[in-house]
């Protein structure tokens, strides 16, 4: 995604015009297929008043329960929001931890430079070794493609159906596709890292594991951590959404508030999510900048 | 650590990259503890020659015999063992950029450490290791950079880190590919003096490739001249005439013929 | 140098070593965060291996076999016939709807993103973009522009922070279960992301060529249309396709809330407790995502290398 294509703006105008034409054709085809009509965009009378109320509430998020007659002893709304936010972060952190446990080994096996750095030299059944490492490499790539292609909510649906309701289902549901995603990125980071250091270690007689740990990993570490932190931000969103399935994250309370027509409370939960996401956004950005200099 | 140097015998070696012959039928030998400089114009095959000596490049024909054992006979374990005893200063340095200098130097010993030991050392270098490395770095003139991040150093400083790493291996032979390419002239002489002295004291074999003919003549008693992959001369420095050297670097010469000779097809 | 001297010197060097406090503290905080979550979350319980759960897993797995084949025994041809039927009846329309939703959504997202980019780009949203005339600009004007940039960026961040799934939930309440709800949800979230990415690309453009355009007297919007857009286009297209990939992925699940697409049938099968059908539609969704990734990769290569 990075690179200096900006400077080559005018080199391939034909291709670009073609791409844009293609996009617009696909767009009108898709709209025709869905029988989209602008008329349907106009909300119904009820929808309109809901919309008005809902967006008006954006400016006045609730700080107290909107329902009348909350039983005494109920925890104050803001405390409840806070605890939901904390639960959301907790699910997200556990999921990203799992995704690192999955993604780092998988990404290692899926990177070419790992296999190049650790290829054995000298005679000793080189053919068999090569075949085995090739097979592992391909298996890792296929596993990544498969695990990644199923959305985390669909993993949740599957796991809930299989396991019944348990917090672990949510963690695994997010952790597995995120792990595959992390593996893909990690393998790309490893492959883009310069090869000199690992070659030098090999020339000094270092073993394969040593070459990997000291000649490749240090070069990839900073990027990997920055990326993992960015994934925290995504995981917080996913974990909030898992509340729709009954896990006690922000989504759960948000649905309840929405269905009770307490839009002020809905916005309180939305702003809480916004705050958490903003925090992780700031953190990963700051970390990236501190590494760049 | 007086373990004596390694003896290298290069036996009619040809190295091919595709249809390009980087070395062509080169035969020579380098005795244990002997200092030698390899000279020649760019692309002559100096780096290839050095990389041949510890098996980083394989001979397409012929063989290299180190301490009586042909490299082509060594299994993975024996090859690692040999390499851990050969210090190599790469032309492009090949350091680990984002770590501290001390770790880059420590990495020289990896070949002789078990995995667990190397983890421990790289995570938390011991007091003794830090002191030894500080001493080494001081000898190459960058003692105060011990804990600096390697990629923050200048090119010349990094080159000296690479030298320190090779020395920290406690090698029996030191192969240095243009080790003074990016240090200033005064420092260059100091580095060469250091290399030759260390090797003389410990009895290490020293093979250095150099662009700087005068320094080669000043510091090395024996010169090997390469040109277009062929060994042009190999004699004591006193017997290398300025005539010979001029031919070595002349741009015309029999280049046409050499080119034709180098291409196989 | 004596041993003691060296020891002192090394200690001094260690003491003054360059540090990365933010990195270090972040790593510690991260570690603490992880330990705390695992400790208090109760995610790793023995409960998972309880007999009841294992039985439920076993039943679930056995029910993954298509219902009509449970008596007759599973065969590849039988499975294919079953899947073929399902595909013809519902799968095809669902897959095409999902894909169409993602396409329309990403185009709208690009439009929305482009609009918001104008306000979020510091180099465009200033009193005198690219070519200061030397005239003194009143402080209030400067402040107004800065406020605009800040407000736009906050809006972008809010759009980004709220997941598509939540947007759909709200929009279904407003519009009813039409494809528009899914499209708008995707467009809002991705518009927020594209707006921010675009702004970063444009702020990194070299100002000289744009200053020349400004010198001819072009206005802010003219600069954006005739100077900035062509220069930044390749990058913007790359982001466009990269986000489309994610739209396809998200579109497969948005139907869970009741819009006719793959997710709808997954939810339907889930409600009817038909794991076999559910798995079929999940696999269709996965294939769609793989297809999207492939097309997006091809398109990005086309943009980058002209083929
Ligand atoms: N791995 C390789 N693959 C293909 N060709 C190679 C490879 N290594 C070296 N060569 C070629 O072999 C020839 C000799 O290269 P070598 O690096 O040994 O030259 P050199 O004498 O060290 O030159 P310099 O003084 O510029 O470092 C060059 O033409 C080079 O292009
Ligand atoms: Mg060279």
Helix (H) or strand (E) holding C34: helix C21-41
Least confident of B56-70, B247-261, C203-217: B247-261
Return the structure tokens found at C32. 């603490």
d(CA C108, CA B136): 64
Say whether both A120 and A196 belong to one domain: yes
The end-to-end CA distance of chain C, in Å, is 65
Residue B43, C-beta contacts closer than 8 angstroms, at least 6 positions apart: B228
Do A236 and A127 reside in the same domain of the chain? Answer: yes
C97 CA from centroid of ligand 1 (Å): 58
User: So what's the pLDDT on residue A13?
Assistant: 63
Of C7, C17, C18, the CB nearest to B131: C7
Using the mean position of ligand 1's atoms as its centre, give its distance from the Cα of residue B47 in Å. Answer: 7
CB contact under 8 A, B54 and A203: yes
The residue whose CA is least distant from atom 12 of ligand 1 is B22
Alpha-carbon distance C18 to nearest alpha carbon in chain B (angstroms): 6
Half-sphere exposure for C152 (CA within 13 Å, toward CB): 25
The mean pLDDT value for B110-120 works out to 94
ipTM: 0.89
Annotate B196-231 with DSSP letters as a single string. HHHHHHHT-EEEEEES-HHHHHHH-SEEEEEETTEE
Whole domain around residue A26: which residue ranges? Answer: 3-42
The residues on A that touch B, with CB distances below 8 Å, are: 120-124, 194, 196-197, 199-207, 209-210, 213-215, 218-219, 221-222
pLDDT score for A126: 72
Q: Is B68 on the interface with A (CB under 8 A)?
A: no
Pick the CATH number of C80-130+137-305 from 1.10.3720.10, 2.40.170.20, 3.80.30.20, 3.40.30.10: 1.10.3720.10
Does the C-beta of B22 come closer than 6 Å to ligand 1? Answer: yes
pLDDT at B113 over 60: yes
Closest chain C CA to residue A261: C173
Residue A228 domain-assigned? yes
Q: Indicate whether A198 and A265 sit together in one domain.
A: yes
Contact assignment for B95 to A197 by CB distance below 8 Å: yes
CATH number at residue A213: 1.10.3720.10
Helix (H) or strand (E) segment spanning residue B175:
strand B173-177
Residue A158 lies in a domain: yes
Position B262 pLDDT exceeds 60: no
pTM of the shown model: 0.87
Cα–Cα distance, B132 to B170 (Å, whole number)? 12
Mutation test residue for ligand 1: of B23, B46, B179, B229, the one with most atoms within 8 Å of CB: B46
Query: How would you write the pLDDT of chain A (293 residues) with one tens digit per residue?
Result: 333 333 444 445 667 788 888 899 999 999 999 888 887 777 778 888 888 888 899 888 888 888 887 888 788 899 999 999 999 999 999 999 999 999 999 999 999 989 988 877 765 567 888 889 899 999 999 999 999 999 999 999 999 988 888 888 999 999 999 999 999 999 999 999 898 999 999 999 999 889 999 999 999 988 888 888 889 999 999 999 999 999 999 999 999 999 998 999 999 999 999 999 999 989 988 888 887 76
Residue A125 confidence (pLDDT) = 64
B58 lines ligand 1 (CB under 6 A): no
Shortest Cα–Cα distance, A189 to chain B (Å): 15
**Residue B70 tokens, joined:** 């042909």
Distance, CA A194 to ligand 1 centroid (Å)? Answer: 19
* DSSP β-bridge partners for residue B36: B207
Of B100, B130, B152, the CB nearest to C10: B130
Parallel, antiparallel or unpaired: strands B86-89 and B35-39: unpaired
Average pLDDT over residues B57-70: 93
What backbone phi and psi angles, to 5 degrees, belong to A170? -65, -45
Residues A153 and A9 in one domain: no
| Residue from A257, A226, A242, A271 nearest A87 by CA | A242
User: pLDDT digit string (tens) for B155-214?
Assistant: 999 999 999 999 999 999 999 999 988 888 888 999 999 999 999 999 999 999 998 889
My answer on whether A243 and A148 are in the same domain is yes
With the most atoms of ligand 1 within 8 angstroms of its CB, the residue from B13, B14, B16, B43 to mutate is B43
- Contact criterion met (CB < 8 Å) for A204 and B169: yes
- Asked if the structure places residue A250 within a domain, the reply is yes
Residues A137 and A23 in one domain: no
**Mean pLDDT (whole number) for B73-88:** 91
| Residues A220 and A85 reside in one and the same domain | yes
- Average per-residue pLDDT in chain B? 90
Instruction: Determine the Cα–Cα distance for residues B26 and B225; give it in Å rounded to an integer.
Output: 11
Q: Which residues of chain C have pLDDT under 70?
A: 45-48, 307
Q: Look at B149 and C6 and tell me if their CB atoms are within 8 Å.
A: no
Q: Which of B138-152, B213-227, B244-258, C238-252 has the lowest mean pLDDT?
A: B244-258
- Best probe of the A interface among B48, B52, B57, B80, by most A CBs < 10 A, is B80
Q: How many domains does chain A have?
A: 2
Does A21 lie in the same domain as A121?
no
Secondary structure element (H or E) that encloses residue B16, with its range: strand B8-17
In the reported structure, the alpha carbon of residue B159 is separated from the centroid of ligand 2 by a whole-number distance in angstroms of 15
**Does one domain contain both A191 and A272?**
yes
Backbone torsions φ then ψ of A161, nearest 5 degrees: -65, -35
Residues A142 and A242 in one domain: yes
**Host H or E run for residue B176:** strand B173-177
Cα B259 from Cα C63, distance rounded (Å): 73
| pLDDT at residue B254 greater than cutoff 70 | no
């Amino acid at each position: 995604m990075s690179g200096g294509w900006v400077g080559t703006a005018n080199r391939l105008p034909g291709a670009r015009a073609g791409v844009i034409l293609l996009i617009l054709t696909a767009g009108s085809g898709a709209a025709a297929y869905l029988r989209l009509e602008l008329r349907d965009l106009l909300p119904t009378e009820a929808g309109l008043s809901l919309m008005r109320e809902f967006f008006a509430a954006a400016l006045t998020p609730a700080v107290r329960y909107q329902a009348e007659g909350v039983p005494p002893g109920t925890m104050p709304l803001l405390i409840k929001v806070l605890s939901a936010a904390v639960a959301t972060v907790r699910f997200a952190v556990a999921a990203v931890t799992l995704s690192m446990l999955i993604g780092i080994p998988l990404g290692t096996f899926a990177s070419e430079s790992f296999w190049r750095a650790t290829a054995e030299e000298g005679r000793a059944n080189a053919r068999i070794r090569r075949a085995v490492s090739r097979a592992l490499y391909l298996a890792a790539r296929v596993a990544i493609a498969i695990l990644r292609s199923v959305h985390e909510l669909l993993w949740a649906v599957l796991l809930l159906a299989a396991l019944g309701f348990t917090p672990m289902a949510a963690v695994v549901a997010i952790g597995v596709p995120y792990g595959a995603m992390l593996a893909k990125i990690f393998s790309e980071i490893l492959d883009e890292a310069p090869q000199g250091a690992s070659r030098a270690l090999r020339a000094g007689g270092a073993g394969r594991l040593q070459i990997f740990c000291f000649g490749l990993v240090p070069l990839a570490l900073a990027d990997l951590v920055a990326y993992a932190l960015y994934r925290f931000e995504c995981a917080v969103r996913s974990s909030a959404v898992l509340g729709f399935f009954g896990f006690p994250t922000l989504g759960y309370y948000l649905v309840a508030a929405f269905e009770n027509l307490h839009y002020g409370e809905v916005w309180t939960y939305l702003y809480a999510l916004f705050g958490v996401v903003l925090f992780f956004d700031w953190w990963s950005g700051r970390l990236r900048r501190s590494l760049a200099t | 650590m007086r373990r004596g140097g390694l003896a290298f015998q290069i036996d009619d070696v040809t190295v091919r990259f595709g249809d390009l012959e980087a070395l062509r039928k080169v035969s020579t030998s380098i005795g244990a503890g002997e200092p030698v400089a390899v000279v020649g114009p760019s692309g002559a095959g100096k780096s290839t020659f050095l990389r041949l000596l510890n098996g980083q490049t394989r001979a397409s024909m012929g063989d290299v015999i180190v301490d009586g054992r042909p490299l082509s006979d060594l299994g993975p374990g024996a090859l690692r063992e040999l390499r851990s005893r050969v210090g190599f200063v790469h032309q492009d340095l090949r350091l680990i950029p984002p770590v501290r200098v001390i770790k880059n130097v420590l990495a020289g010993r990896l070949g002789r450490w078990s995995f667990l030991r190397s983890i421990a050392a790289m995570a938390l270098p011991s007091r003794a290791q830090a002191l030894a490395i500080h001493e080494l770095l001081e000898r190459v003139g960058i003692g105060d950079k011990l804990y600096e991040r390697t990629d923050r150093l200048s090119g010349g400083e990094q080159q000296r880190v690479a030298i320190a790493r090779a020395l920290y291996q406690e090698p029996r032979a030191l192969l240095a590919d243009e080790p003074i390419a990016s240090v200033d002239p005064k420092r260059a002489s100091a580095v060469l003096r250091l290399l030759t002295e260390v090797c003389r004291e410990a009895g290490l074999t020293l093979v250095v490739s150099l662009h700087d003919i005068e320094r080669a003549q000043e510091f090395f008693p024996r010169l090997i001249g390469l040109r277009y992959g062929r060994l042009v001369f190999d004699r004591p420095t006193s017997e290398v005439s300025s005539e010979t050297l001029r031919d070595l670097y002349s741009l015309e010469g029999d280049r046409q013929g050499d080119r034709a000779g180098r291409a196989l097809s | 140098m004596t041993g003691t001297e060296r020891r002192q010197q090394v200690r001094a060097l260690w003491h003054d070593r360059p540090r990365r406090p933010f990195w270090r503290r972040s790593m510690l905080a991260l570690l603490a965060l992880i330990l705390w979550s695992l400790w208090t979350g109760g995610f790793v319980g023995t409960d998972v291996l309880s007999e009841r759960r294992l039985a439920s897993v076993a039943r679930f797995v056995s029910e993954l076999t298509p219902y009509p084949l449970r008596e007759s025994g599973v065969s590849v041809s039988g499975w294919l016939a079953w899947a073929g039927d399902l595909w013809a009846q519902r799968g095809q329309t669902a897959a095409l709807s999902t894909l169409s939703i993602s396409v329309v959504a990403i185009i709208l997202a690009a439009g929305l993103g482009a609009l918001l980019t104008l306000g979020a780009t510091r180099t465009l949203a200033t009193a005198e973009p690219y070519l200061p005339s030397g005239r003194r600009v009143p402080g209030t004007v400067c402040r107004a522009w800065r406020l605009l940039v800040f407000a736009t960026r906050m809006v972008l961040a809010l759009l980004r922070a709220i997941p598509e799934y939540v947007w759909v939930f709200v929009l279904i309440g407003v519009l009813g279960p039409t494809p528009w709800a899914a499209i708008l949800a995707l467009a809002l979230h991705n518009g927020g992301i594209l707006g921010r990415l675009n702004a970063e690309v444009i702020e990194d453009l070299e100002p000289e060529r744009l200053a020349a355009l400004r010198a001819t007297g072009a206005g802010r919007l003219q600069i954006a249309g005739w100077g900035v857009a062509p220069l930044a286009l390749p990058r913007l297209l790359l982001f466009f396709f990269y986000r489309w990939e994610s739209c396809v992925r998200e579109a497969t699940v948005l139907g869970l809330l009741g819009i006719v697409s793959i997710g709808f049938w997954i939810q339907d099968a889930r409600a009817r407790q038909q794991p076999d059908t559910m798995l079929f539609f999940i696999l269709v969704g996965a294939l769609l995502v793989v297809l999207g990734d492939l097309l997006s990769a091809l398109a990005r290569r086309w943009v980058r290398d002209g083929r």
